[in-house]
Structure 1
Amino acid sequence: MALQNVKADLQQQQKCCNCHQINTWRILLRNCSHMICIFCGIEYIREWIQEKDKCRIKCPKKSCRIRIHENDIKALLDSENRALDIFLPQPQREWLQFKHDKDVIGYALGAPKYAKQCPLCMKEIIKTVKYQKNFYAKVDGCNFVRCSNLRCNQWFCFCCGDPVQSWQHFSQGGQCRVSWDDVYKLTYLLRFIVFSDACTNFLLIPIAWLAIWIFLPLFVLIGFPYFSLRGILKLQFAAAIPLAILASPFIFATSIILFFGTFLTAFPLYVFYIIISVIKCIPPATHIFKVMDYAAKAAGVFGFGNWKQILMDSRDARFELEVEKMQIEYEKSEQIPTIERNEQQQLEYEAAELAREARQNRAVGAAQCAGGAVDIGRVLKKGAHNYEVVRKGEIQKVQFLGINDIKVNDAQAVAENIKLKGKAGKVVKLAAIV
């Protein structure tokens, strides 16, 4: 109990490392044990989060390189602590905490190069903070991605971050290119038809006929107006519903035209499926597919069977190294420059020396003048807190005191008394000159 009281007394005596006040509500930073008042702490964190866009916040003391613990940041920005409203309103603290969490996630995933945000959520169309600004890490080989938020489901390009609706975006040139994994996923049905057995293909001919000649036209007839009207309603502005009603006749007319157009597309698709199935029944073609199968098994013996997974693992390892290098660069940018840190340390050293000299030169001896006994320290407070001035007897050089104002009869006694901090109790006679 006594030890806790001692610790409490020590904390009460510690000043804020920013404003150097002790009569304020303060918090002890757990990583570096520096004390900071609530007002300075909230303002300091707000500056680093809102203006500097930093997720790793260092101690407010310039000479300290230790970063503030995440729990200390949460304590200063606690939205449920209504007592903090006098320092910063609760909505602003909640927003700062949200932005800080977002910056931390972006730092961990390597944003903005290796992590993107959904463009629809980022525009804050979805107002709920829980579903706002979802982050997506870079998956190598995948540039056509979709927001996993069920209230959004927006497709967007990972290269430029713009919302896209189809693969046509990647055919317009520029930096946006379809990645190998996108092509691999897109050609799933084609790979199934090519690499499946000939017997399987012939058994699936009735299903292929139904899918191409019936389900595909019906999907276009029903799906085109459904997704078109859904896209208009997702705009979420006042005129969305009237616009959807006005556009409905044109959308349904277009869907009927596309319905009959799918039959023109269905014919070559069905012919292609039949040709592939027939070719796979020809013995030479069968041998070719067998050779490909044997080659895949031989590659598996030497550890290259799952080549796609091996390629992804190697690129993931390279991605982690690049993110680590990026984080090191971020840490260098957050550190205080050596020159500035040395200047701060020099200023603190000079301030400590001045304080020590002031304590050493404080005169506590007694003096006598026309008005009676006075403390020599009260006279010297006007500027005579200088040991060398008193020792040399040059009291007239002190500010506000001249040779015609005061006369030191025994300067050496004053100097000795200062050295002993007044313990000798020597009396120095001062004579006022009238």
Structure 2
Amino acid sequence: MTRGLPSRRLVLAAAGSALAMPALLRQEARAQAGAPVKVGVLSDLSGQLSDYSGPTCVTAAEMAAEDMGGTVLGRPIQILAADHQNKADVGANLARGWFDREGVGAIADLPNSSVALAVQHLASERGKITLLSGPASGALMNEACSKTGFLWALDTYSNTVGPSRILMEQGKKTWFLIVADYAYGHQMRADLTKSVEKAGGKVLGVAQHPTGSPDFSSFLLQAQASGAQVIGLLNAGSDTINCVKQASEFGISSQQKFYLPGAVISDVHALGLEQAKGLLLMNGFYWDRNDESRVWSKRFFDKTKRMPGQIQASVYSSVLHYLRAMKEAKSEDGRVVAEAMRGMRVNDVFTKDGVIRPDGRLVHDFYIVEVKSPAESKYPWDYYKPVGEIAGAEAMQPLSETRCPYLKKT
């Protein structure tokens, strides 16, 4: 090396520091000016997942801001909302603008795994927080994990391993899977197949459908013809609703048991108990579980005219925990706040004494429920009866099996 010239490593380090300086200066300027602390809710506000999460998740985030008193670090909290239209490029562009121009520190919800994967990558590069409630792809905590990414509600592992074990114990050993053709469906299929086969069962067949399909007849007839004891509907939103409606028309739901790992309470409400009765669902939250959940849900109902599901409660919980961690850390720096989030227990209406693992996964209990018949339901939104409970530690993919690059042992 020529004496007097800086090394390449030093030049690169200086360049990196120079690139980081504008962002740091903007952050300091916003804080000094008392600018709002901004949290974005990036969701499907008008499409097939808009009832699964959508506008009501914006309300849930606003409730979290209210419960912080509307301020954190002496600054007002502002909740932004945008529609990603279930397109990864649209979601990524919206997130980029929020991060780079609007000063958004965290993005919540993110239903649609393809969108979530794109946004989490951007957030990781910028040291920003992702609070994942809507997506379920296991890749978010594995190959695409982030030190500033957190998965709050369901995932493909939690919603397949426990339920399949319980059904297998009941003697239901043969399955047919109807799978949505995107990241969530593919990962759910892989995890469920592995779980069923490990327990000694068999997947007799798989039918894959495009999202937003208006006609599920061919897929349902394949499932019916297979003679499988359980039909797994590995889709979400309007796809799930339309699939169950058509199954009811064919009379399939009375002959074979349906398991819907991605279904939520608004799906049951849209179907009505006559069509939905007997369906098996996995839930991390039920509004009628205890006095605290009923009080919070009544407040939510007054704002939205519907009861919350696990996605809405999860958005509330994740945003509230993020804001509490900012207060605890006395910082809005994403990497600092992420460490504070991991170091704090999660205590709210969604879960008690919840632990966040090193991979960003919130550990909480799950409940397997069966949809009541009209005769069993005693009041509005009285939809579920418990079938089984799975402790959070048993529901989550073991850390020993992680594929997360920063945790995986070499």
| TM-score of the superposed pair, with normalisation by structure 1 | 0.20
Query: If you compute each CA radius of gyration, which structure gives the higher value, 1 or 2?
Result: 1
Structure with higher strand content: 2
Structure with higher helix content: 1
| TM-score of the superposed pair, with normalisation by structure 2 | 0.20
- Larger RCO (CA under 8 A, 6+ residues apart): 2
